[in-house]
Structure 1
Amino acid sequence: MYYTYVLISLKDEMFYTGYTADIKQRVNAHNNGEVDSTKNRRPLKLVYYGACLNQQDATHREKYLKTTYGKR
């Protein structure tokens, strides 16, 4: 199972979208500063996640959420 997720930075109120196979571990990695793209934007809060059966579906959902239509 893969997960597409959206985090919001409580520091600058910007969103971060990604996908992972282990949602709890990935959110912890973001909040512990282990992810370069979000380490200066901590703390982060999980605001959305959706489960997908395979990695391809998760990456398609992630790409959609990064579009203008997906952000709405």
Structure 2
Amino acid sequence: MKFTVYILFSESSGKHYTGFTSDLKTRLLSHNEFGHGWTAKYRPWKIIFTKDFETKKEAMDFEKWLKSGVGRDFIKTLKK
């Protein structure tokens, strides 16, 4: 099974969301249609970045890196 780290962007708010999943299509639908909580407030979301990994641990480690200072700087380059 592959795991995908993804970054979503909300044009209406300028905010981004970072996560990982084993089913990107269903997860995006969940954020845009059925979501509740934080992501529901900033719909619609579009995917601006994905990266696939072979293991859940690799995906979690990369997601953690994206949420670090260096990772946030990387995300800013995607939004330009």
Query: TM tier, shorter chain?
Result: over 0.9
C-alpha displacement of 1:35 = 4.1
What does residue 18 of structure 1 align with?
19
C-alpha displacement of 1:36 = 2.0
C-alpha displacement of 1:33 = 3.6
Structure 1 residues not aligned, in runs of 5+:
none
Structure 2 residues not aligned, in runs of 5+:
74-80
Compare CA radii of gyration and give the structure with the larger one: 2
User: Over aligned residue pairs, what C-alpha RMSD do you find?
Assistant: 1.0
What does residue 77 of structure 2 align with?
none
The answer to which structure has the higher helix fraction is 2
Identity over the aligned pairs, expressed in percent?
31
What does residue 65 of structure 2 align with?
64
- What TM-score do the two structures reach when normalised by structure 1? 0.93
Report the Cα distance in structure 1 between the residues aligned to 2:36 and 2:58, rounded to whole angstroms: 23
- Count of aligned pairs between the two proteins: 72
Q: Deviations over 1:39-60 (max 9, x none)?
A: 0110111000100001100010
